[in-house]
A and B are shown apart, each in its own frame.
Chain A
């Protein structure tokens, strides 16, 4: 093993972190300034902190509702997508299905569509086709969860497939010979080995759903409205309330960070990679 040079890495990371954090720091700076101060000579250092933007946002009940919607929608979507993609990748990797490579490629084409034009058909589907009596898929959380699958499922299948393919087939064949059912093979052999990949898939799909804007803006009105859409309500044609927008943006980072730190453990867990070593 080569010698480790922790100090150099630390320096490298400090430099990189400054670059990475600067726009986020700036977001924070904007969020704690009154509107008039934004258009003066910029300065790197914050001299006065103005918390009113945060107070306005936190006391706004509608925004709190949007935040909860976002949490429910992104978490359910990421969970659904990760499970479905895990099964799909396993099927594609281990079974000899007719035309499976074409199916695999087809899944990804669902992510290629330019969004602007597809908003209209989605709107029509949600308001006129997927209805039962008075109930419409429009403005429901379940609708958004399913809809986000169109761009998250292809993503998840594509990022997960190399991981599943990389897990040696011999391991699950051995387990099958020992009498394990398909379910046991999936949950006890493949799942632990695929954990870093699954964790990354979960995080990223969660983030995509959390940040999605166009579809949510078109297909929800109040009951399922997400926080990104709520945030964009401050960006209007007559002028943007930068402070309020930045304050919401900073607040939306918090749940995302919590999810990240929860899931990151599983990426690290992948470092102790025992089973394949034999």
Chain B
């Protein structure tokens, strides 16, 4: 066995950077969460108020509502992206004319900045000036009104997210598929396994770490979506698309209620962490069990 020192040395820069830029701000936010601080409010001083922020948050209907819609949004968006992304990655594994070209086209949405994505989708969907409501009206007689119908607004934010982020899933899963050794597949084909069996018993288990890593990333990013939804719906109509990242944004910026915003951030961070930890433990436990068999 080689010396572990080399391993630690390879890990050291990563740990150092993340410790400086990750832990230090977190400690500050944690400190703020136990204070009342509104620098532009009637009383701009920072006052220690124990767990008051957290007590307020448990009964805050707006906050609880935003957690619920965020969960719904993340669930629908991430599930569709993984399914669609996997399908596309599989298709890219085949040889067909113009593959490179189509792959480039397919990755284009990724390159567009979130703030631009939100703006374009807003211009496309605003009633009376947007092309989508116009065409839907012309072709199907359907009245699409993002400003009035909560379900439509919600669905559009999900579709926009799918449009924007499926390429990321495709790319990461494609890289994972390319890295898989070929002999299990060839062996299975020789043994007469059908496509479904190959998918279920070989591809999926071998790809599981990559799929999980991708689910994690997408889940985390979906849970803290701000820019795109802000540009598309600004959280409306009502609170239909007021996702938790946006909710915090509204508390910290227009209201400058830093203490309360910090408390919500800490709780959201905690919830995300617990959820991901459970997923992660499930994955590792599974992997360990497999190894012992």
Contact = CB atoms under 8 A, between A and B. Distances in A.
Interface of A: 4, 6, 9-10, 12-13, 16-17, 19-21, 23-24, 26-27, 30, 38-44, 84-85, 87-88, 90-92, 94-97, 101, 103, 105-118, 120-122, 124-125, 129, 146-147, 149-150, 153-155, 157-159, 161-163, 165-167, 176, 182, 193-194, 196-197, 199-200, 203-204, 207, 210-211, 213-214, 228, 231-232, 235, 240, 242, 245-246, 249, 252-253, 256-257, 260-261, 264, 267-268, 270-271, 273, 276-277
Given A17-B105, A200-B171, A264-B104, A153 B244 contact: no
B282 interface: no
A138 B21 CA distance: 14
Given A42-B130, A96-B4, A6 B21 contact: no
B214 interface: yes
Contacts of A194: 179
Nearest to B117: A23
B51 interface: no
- Leading 8 A-B pairs by shortest Cβ distance: A95-B7, A121-B25, A256-B111, A91-B10, A121-B28, A211-B113, A162-B209, A87-B10
A176 B3 CA distance: 13
Q: Is the interface of B mostly helix, strand, loop or mixed?
A: helix
Contacts of B1: 96
Contact of B91 (A12, A113, A129): A12
Nearest to A149: B17
Contacts of A107: 14, 18
Contact of A103 (B11, B180, B183, B273): B11
Interface in B100-125: 100, 102-117, 119-121, 123-124
B230 to A, nearest CB: 10
What is the interface residue range for chain B against chain A?
A: 35 or more
B71 to A, nearest CB: 15
A225 B122 CA distance: 26
Given A90-B10, A112-B276, A270 B175 contact: yes
Contact of B224 (A95, A115, A245, A256): A115
A159 B217 CA distance: 9
A94 to B, nearest CB: 7
B96 interface: yes
Given A20-B106, A249-B113, A113 B183 contact: no
Interface string B229-254: 00100000000000011001100110
